Structures are given as structure tokens and as C-alpha cells.
Amino acid sequence: MPETINTDLVVLGGGPGGYAAAFLAAERGVQTTLLDANAKPGGTCMHVGCIPSKTLLHVADLIHLGHEAAEFGIAYGKPEIDLAKLRAKGDKIVDMMSTSLLKGCKDRKVNHIVGRGDFKDPHTIEVAPLTPGPSPGGRGVTITFKRCIIAVGSIPAKLPTFDIGSPRILDSTSALRLESVPKTLLVVGGGYIGLELGSVYAALGSSVTVVEMTASLLPGVDADLVRPLFARLRAQFDKIHLETKVTEVEEVKDGIKARLEPSSPLPPGEESGVRGEFAVFEKVLVAVGRRPNTATCGLDKAGVEVERGFIKTDKQRRTNVPHIFAIGDAAGEPMLAHKAAHEGKLVVEVLTDEAHAEWDPRAMPAVVFTDPEIAWCGLTETDAKKQNRPVKVGVFRWGFSGRATTVGRNDGLTKVLVDPATDQVLGVGVVGAGAGELIAEAVVAIEMGATAKDLAMCIHPHPTLSETIGEAAEFLHGLSSHIFVPRK
């Protein structure tokens, strides 16, 4: 007979938000069950997202460093790529980290169940065991619960154009398996996923073509941050087609035949080099974003309201069903692992001893792990213009940075956006090597209500890239040693 488990709290999904919530709840004495479709926790981020992709991006960085060493008088031969060893290394990292999370369940006495959950009513989830896959006793399980946190994450978005059943067409998950390095790769989508994975394949030897429907790579990101990346990618990629879409694909003997067309009408008299152009690529990576994974867990049976695929929540991440909460990608943009983790902890605070806690971050950091990296938090110039909000902007170009110059990476810039009336820091953007590591200082500054003068007066170690944040703030107050601004 199917087994029935009664629990105080069930967390549906074992990704960064799910396991963070389950662990904290258990530590606070809540009887907790973590239900996940993976044999080990970690979710998309751990198994087919953040961790494996950043492992491959590190490999790409090593290859680039080998090429750049020639500028410093050090010559290396052409790198030899052992894909089997590379895959094994990535698998080992994922297994080590996910095993640690599994131990975390045991240490905290979290009941970890492997299977796919389907709501039967607002207090019951039926678990379908995976095939093959572990499940208690190998049977289906029914979980009854008092409270629930939905953390089912997201899945790659699909386009009907590419639904032709060909293994040559990849998504962000299959692209990480690296069964081979194609001679030619078409990347559909110039967002962070497409550019990160495109960079990996280019470093490994693929001739990469990127197609983006809008007028810019990384749509929505400030143009001055994208510009240095675009310049570098033009040298790494074979072609970058903006304002272009793929209207037709067909599998042929040597790959995928794709038809490229302008994505919007061209101005009178202007012609596009890709109007009706056909090209054949060994493989195609479709990277047009992600969508919430909410369609297969029976939310309607629980009475949970959904809008455009996202679960509707309030500032405590409570759904319209009072004892059911939702976090992470399933609960709305931005789809970021660190957002999900903090939302999970917030919900546990609400469930235990902080009934008035609400989700209200001032600075949500985002990082694009390309080369150079792009990172930002708080208000962007793009959003400030849309809101007609006045800001003062201090920019420090890395050509003036001693550290950036010594390592041959002075193509970056750091900028600080402040309120003209109060000098309070509203946003920070960075493009350059290691930008993702630098942005944390800006998050703290914004969350603590710091001013640009505060940043300028904090002593940053020299020579480091972290100085660029202080230097951008110094520029706003006429304190810059490296940028001369004539006084009016």
C-alpha cells in the first residue's frame, strides 16, 4: 500500500530556495519534509545550471589566459581538450556539492523524499516515484501537510520553430553535457545564458554565431556595460546578428539549416545582410530564457492562483491559500538562485517568529558570467530613464586602474548612481574581469543607505579592482586623483 507521511512543513523543490528554507525550518524545530525530483538536493542551479556552467566558464577563462600570456612574453601551445576528463571534473564537482547538501538534510533531520509532487488538495501531495529512482520502499507516497513552500523553479523556454525532434538542437541543459564540440554553433538568444554558453563553445573551438531579436545583446542591461563585452565577443564569435530572428529550421545531412530574417521592418532604403539568408550549423543552441515550472504540480487542485505561469504571492511570499507559500523562479522575476535562497529564509521567518517580515530588498545583484563579466545592483540608468528619475552618475574607466592595467584587462568600467539631492547610492554597475565579486560591496552600501561620500571615504586597498568603486564615488565629489575634471 502507498505510504502516507504527515508533516508540519513540506518544501516542494530542492533547489537553492527549497533547501535553504528546509534547512532553516528544521533548525528552528519545524518538522520538515523536502520533496525533490533529484536524488540529491541542489535543483537546476546545482545539477544543470549555475555550478556546471561556471565550471565550463572557468575552463574558457583558462584557455583565454593561455592566449593572453603571449602579451607578457609567455607562449603556450594550442590547448588539447579532453572532453571526457572535463565532463568527469564537472560531474565530480556537482556530486561533491550535492552530496554535502544530502548530508545537510540528514544532519538537520529533514525528511528528504525523491519524486515528483502533484497536489491533490490544499493539504495533500501525491508523490510519483521516479523511473528509475529512489523512493521510500520503491512505492508512491502521499504527503499530508499543515504548511507548504513551493519552490519548483524554472525550465528552459521553448520556441515552436525549433520543435523538430532533432538532437542537434540544444537547450541550456543539453548544451552542458558536452558530448562533442561542434565545428559550427548557432546560438539563438543574446541573453546571459546564450552568451555564457556561446563563450564556452567558442573557447573550446566552435565557430559561434549569435542571433538576437533586439537591437542589443543582453536586452535591458545598460548599454555602457554591454559595450566592452560586445567588443570582446566580436573577436571570439564568428558573427553576431542583432535585430534578427530564425524563422525556419530543417535538419539536413550536415546539421541544421536555418533561415535568418530581420526581426523588425528596416528603415526605407536600408538592407539587411541576413534578409532571407540560409546557413547550415552543426548544432543550434536555443537560449531564449526560462519559464516557471508550475504547469505539472497540480496547483489548481490546491487552489493556488497563477498568472502567466508565475504563482501570485504577497510581500511575505504567501499565496492566496494562506498556508501555502511560493518562492524562487516560480514566484516571479528575477530568476536568480540567491533571490530564491533569501525568499526561502524569509518565509521561514514568517512561519516561526517574524510574522511581520516582508520581502523588500533595495539592491538585488545580478551577474553575467561572460568575459568580461557584467554585474549590477539597485537602480540602473536604463530604469532611471524609463522612470524619468534624475540621477548623478560617477564613472571610473579601468584604463586608469593600476590593477586592471597590470593584468592586461583595462577594458572595464565601474559606475555609481546617486540621488542628486541626498547623495545616497541608488545603483552600481560594473563591467570587467571579476565584476561579480566586486558587486557585493555595492549591495551592502545600498542596503545600508550609504552615500557616495561614504564610499569615497572608505579606504580601498591598492592596487585592486575594488578601488574602482571608490574611485567612481570620488569622481562625484571631485576627489579623483586619476581623472581630471576642470572646475566650472
Measured CA to CA, the distance from residue 429 to residue 380 in angstroms comes to: 7
Q: What pLDDT, on the 0 to 100 scale, is given for residue 276? A: 67
- Say which CATH architecture domain 160-286 belongs to: 3-Layer(bba) Sandwich (3.50)
pLDDT higher than 70, residue 134: no
Question: Could you give the C-alpha distances from 87 to 129, 183, 200, 208, in angstroms and in order?
Answer: 28, 19, 13, 21
Q: What number is the average pLDDT over the span 93-113?
A: 97
* C-alpha Rg value of the chain to the nearest Å: 24
Q: What pLDDT, on the 0 to 100 scale, is given for residue 9? A: 98
In tens, the pLDDT along 22-32 reads: 999 999 999 99
Q: Determine whether 198 is exposed, middle or buried from the number of CB atoms within 10 Å of its CB (0-12, 13-18, 19+).
A: buried
In tens, the pLDDT along 172-190 reads: 999 999 889 999 999 999 9
Q: How far is CA 426 from the centre of its chain?
A: 22
Q: Quick one: 366-476 is in which CATH superfamily? A: FAD/NAD-linked reductase, C-terminal dimerisation domain (3.30.390.30)
Q: Phi/psi of residue 17, each to 5°?
A: -75, -45
Q: What number is the average pLDDT over the span 58-82?
A: 92
Q: What pLDDT, on the 0 to 100 scale, is given for residue 184? A: 98
| pLDDT band at 3; cut points 50, 70, 90 | confident
b (16+ CB within 10 A) / e for 221-258: bbeebbebbbebbeebbebbbbbbbbeebeeeeebbeb
Q: What number is the average pLDDT over the span 130-136?
A: 52
Question: Taking the CB of residue 32, how many other CB atoms lie within 10 A of it?
Answer: 28
Measured CA to CA, the distance from residue 1 to residue 79 in angstroms comes to: 57
DSSP state of 266: P
Measured CA to CA, the distance from residue 486 to residue 488 in angstroms comes to: 6
Which of 342, 307, 300 has the alpha carbon at shortest distance from 324? 300
pLDDT higher than 60, residue 50: yes
Q: How far is CA 387 from the centre of its chain?
A: 25
Q: What are the CB-based long-range contacts (under 8 Å, 24+) for 252-257?
A: 252/280, 254/280, 254/282, 255/168, 255/182, 255/184, 255/280, 255/281, 255/282, 255/283, 256/166, 256/168, 256/169, 256/186, 256/280, 256/281, 256/282, 256/283, 256/284
Enzyme catalytic residues: 462
Q: What pLDDT, on the 0 to 100 scale, is given for residue 135? A: 47
pLDDT higher than 60, residue 133: no
Q: With contact defined as beta carbons under 8 Å apart, do 149 and 26 qualify?
A: no
pLDDT higher than 80, residue 266: no
Mean pLDDT of the chain: 93
Write the CB contacts of 16 (distance below 8 Å, at least 6 apart in sequence). 42, 43, 45, 46, 328, 337, 338, 340, 341, 344
Which of 322, 323, 291, 290 has the alpha carbon at shortest distance from 307? 291
| pLDDT band at 480; cut points 50, 70, 90 | confident
Measured CA to CA, the distance from residue 306 to residue 320 in angstroms comes to: 10
User: Which of 185-194, 199-208, 354-363 has the least mean pLDDT?
Assistant: 354-363
User: Which of 133-147, 279-293, 385-399, 419-433 has the least mean pLDDT?
Assistant: 133-147
Alpha helices in 329-371 (DSSP H): 337-351
Q: 62 is written with which cell numbers?
A: 583558462
DSSP per-residue codes, 287-326? ---EEE--SSS-HHHHT--EETTEEP--TT-B-SSTTEEE
* pTM, to two decimals: 0.93
Which of 36, 229, 26, 27 has the alpha carbon at shortest distance from 141? 36
Q: Phi/psi of residue 121, each to 5°?
A: -165, 180
Measured CA to CA, the distance from residue 217 to residue 416 in angstroms comes to: 22
User: Which of 272-286, 349-363, 377-391, 430-444 has the least mean pLDDT?
Assistant: 272-286
Structural fold of domain 3-155+291-351: FAD/NAD(P)-binding domain (3.50.50)
| pLDDT band at 274; cut points 50, 70, 90 | low
Q: What number is the average pLDDT over the span 63-73?
A: 92
Measured CA to CA, the distance from residue 355 to residue 353 in angstroms comes to: 6
| pLDDT band at 131; cut points 50, 70, 90 | low
In tens, the pLDDT along 328-351 reads: 999 999 999 999 999 999 999 999
pLDDT higher than 50, residue 150: yes
In tens, the pLDDT along 221-260 reads: 999 999 999 999 999 999 999 999 999 999 999 999 999 9
Q: What number is the average pLDDT over the span 402-419?
A: 96
How is the chain split into domains, by residue range? Answer: 3-155+291-351, 160-286, 366-476
Q: What number is the average pLDDT over the span 434-462?
A: 97
Q: What pLDDT, on the 0 to 100 scale, is given for residue 138? A: 42
Do the first three CATH levels of 3-155+291-351 and 366-476 match, i.e. the same topology? no
Q: What pLDDT, on the 0 to 100 scale, is given for residue 124? A: 97
Question: Could you give the C-alpha distances from 335 to 211, 310, 349, 429, in angstroms and in order?
Answer: 22, 11, 22, 19
Question: Taking the CB of residue 73, how many other CB atoms lie within 10 A of it?
Answer: 6
Write the CB contacts of 271 (distance below 8 Å, at least 6 apart in sequence). none
